[in-house]
A = this chain, B = another copy of it.
């Protein structure tokens, strides 16, 4: 199947927002093996939208449009597709009730133009909008299927996951399911990971193997096409086993939403343990990652951002002698920070990060040199030395993630 994605909205052409909807949809379509050949962005302009739709319908089997389903006169997507397909618009009762409810609950008088949002193409398959007002819809015309979806990501993403993907999977010539495992890595770069798995990636077919790097973490998605989820699982397992044999030491978790900090918080919770951190060069990033996880308050004791030597000394008892002799960026300081923050805050684990984030060297030490210390109740403190590349924000981001990763490793070994 040949697919393309059309995003409708002048705000995209003005650069006010990026077309992240096209990225999201492309990922989803790739997962079920549908090839995307074009993305187009067009403004809220009837004639240009008409041209884009005509062009797309001539070259693609599946045309997904996002945006332009709202209540204002600028919103033209439904009207333009209806004219191309040659059908009218009709009110969808479920959508109309949902819209009325929305205004009723908020005690606001509904303006008339909101009725427009409940209109759908006659004869179309309707997708409920569980997080907004305008429903999505799909309609076939000649050999082409048009799918119309709302623009706001908070409405689009759940609609796609819940309703559109099952609909599209049904359209595929062979009835099959797509079954995925997502492996999450830390401590290995995307290119190094690819290199170690190159032969597997090159001969990939079923399951497909897709590496993806984001926010200093790398994930690998294995997706199998099969008649059932069980058959898919059977196809994935030997490949996953081979991958784990080669790079298993870097795998820290599984699944789409399991960031390093989320996994750490959930592991600590399981074992009723707590953590505290002392951060110099990361300046609060480790703490803010941990506390970004809802419910982290039961495992996160707190932290000290000891940016100056004075604070390292005053709040965390690193002796001036150590700071003057070994320096703030040293194994010794990292060890003392981890041990003392753990003891002072009464946590199971103490994590410390001290290093040179740049742009300038410090204490004669190079940009990118970072020490991470992990102290645990009843275990010897471990200090890791890192040499990180990149600009200031990348060094800070990577150092913080390394601290989380080592804390997780340490916890497993304990």
Contact = CB atoms under 8 A, between A and B. Distances in A.
Majority secondary structure of chain A interface residues (helix, strand, loop or mixed): mixed
Nearest to A392: B294
B294 A315 contact: no
A71 to B, nearest CB: 16
A48 interface: yes
B287 A283 contact: yes
Interface stretch (A25-33, A81-89, A161-169, A196-204): A25-33
Interface stretch (A8-16, A94-102, A142-150, A176-184): A8-16
B297 A307 contact: yes
Q: Which of A18, A27, A287, A301 has the most CB of B within 10 A?
A: A287
A135 to B, nearest CB: 23
B305 A284 contact: yes
A288 B314 CA distance: 21
A322 interface: no
Interface in A176-195: none
A123 interface: no
Interface in A295-326: 296-297, 300-308, 310-311, 314-315
B38 A15 contact: no
Contact of A287 (B19, B42, B43, B284): B284
A41 interface: yes
A288 B282 contact: yes
B15 A18 contact: no
Contacts of A48: 37-38
A286 interface: yes
A72 interface: no
Nearest to A213: B16
A35 B13 CA distance: 8
A284 B307 contact: no
Nearest to A40: B40
Given A285-B288, A291-B305, A291-B307, A38 B30 contact: no
Nearest to A35: B13
A292 interface: yes
A302 B301 contact: no
A311 B305 contact: no
A62 to B, nearest CB: 13
A191 to B, nearest CB: 14
Nearest to A42: B38
A324 to B, nearest CB: 17
Contacts of A40: 38-41
A282 B19 CA distance: 30
A64 interface: no
A36 interface: yes
Contact of A302 (B27, B305, B346): B305
Interface of A: 12-20, 22-30, 35-43, 48, 52, 55, 210, 212, 277, 279, 282-288, 290-292, 294, 296-297, 300-308, 310-311, 314-315, 344-346, 358-359, 392-393, 396
Given A13-B35, A15-B29, A22-B41, 20 more contacts: A13-B26, A14-B210, A15-B25, A16-B27, A17-B23, A37-B43, A38-B40, A38-B48, A39-B41, A40-B40, A55-B55, A279-B284, A283-B296, A284-B284, A284-B285, A287-B288, A300-B307, A301-B308, A310-B345, A314-B344
19 contacts: A13-B26, A15-B23, A15-B27, A15-B30, A16-B212, A39-B41, A40-B41, A282-B288, A284-B284, A284-B288, A284-B303, A287-B288, A291-B307, A297-B307, A301-B311, A302-B310, A303-B307, A304-B315, A315-B315
